[in-house]
Amino acid sequence: MIDIKEALAIWAHEYGNKEYAYDFTGKKIKKSDYQLKNEVGWVITHLKPLELGGEDHMGNTIIMHHRTFAERGSQFPKITIDDVEYQVMHCAKDDYYYIERVETEDEDDGVII
């Protein structure tokens, strides 16, 4: 488990001095609510789980709302949260992981006819 000091350093790296931010699913999180299970509580986890060979470094960590974390469970590399699909990607050159939303055929492509 990551202590509060390290968690806030990761928050600062990701979100700067913002008191509120949003995780990759759009759930609102609050800087001071680390590890709280409330409407804006958040956790830090690994994009590639350690159990699957992921490493414990900044390029493999992500901030998630606690409900996002619970719904994700052990899903990797495909993740479904709130019926939306995501894919964990890896940049080998710079050794970091990131998440992309998977586009589906029924999503609006923004074209107005």
Backbone phi, psi, residue 29, to 5°: -130, 155
DSSP helix/strand/coil, 84:
strand
pLDDT at residue 80 in the model: 98
The alpha carbon of residue 66 and the mean position of all alpha carbons in its chain are separated, in whole angstroms, by: 10
pLDDT digits (tens, 9 = 90+) for 43-74: 999 999 999 999 999 999 999 999 999 999 99
- The amino acid that residue 42 corresponds to is W
Neighbours of 42 (CB within 10 A): 26
pLDDT digits (tens, 9 = 90+) for 72-100: 999 999 999 999 999 999 999 999 999 99
Task: Give the DSSP H or E segment for 89.
Answer: strand 84-91
pLDDT digits (tens, 9 = 90+) for 15-44: 999 999 999 999 999 999 999 999 999 999
Tell me which of 33 and 2 has the higher pLDDT: 33
pLDDT at residue 105 in the model: 78
Euclidean distance between CA atoms 86 and 78, whole angstroms? 6
pTM comes to: 0.88
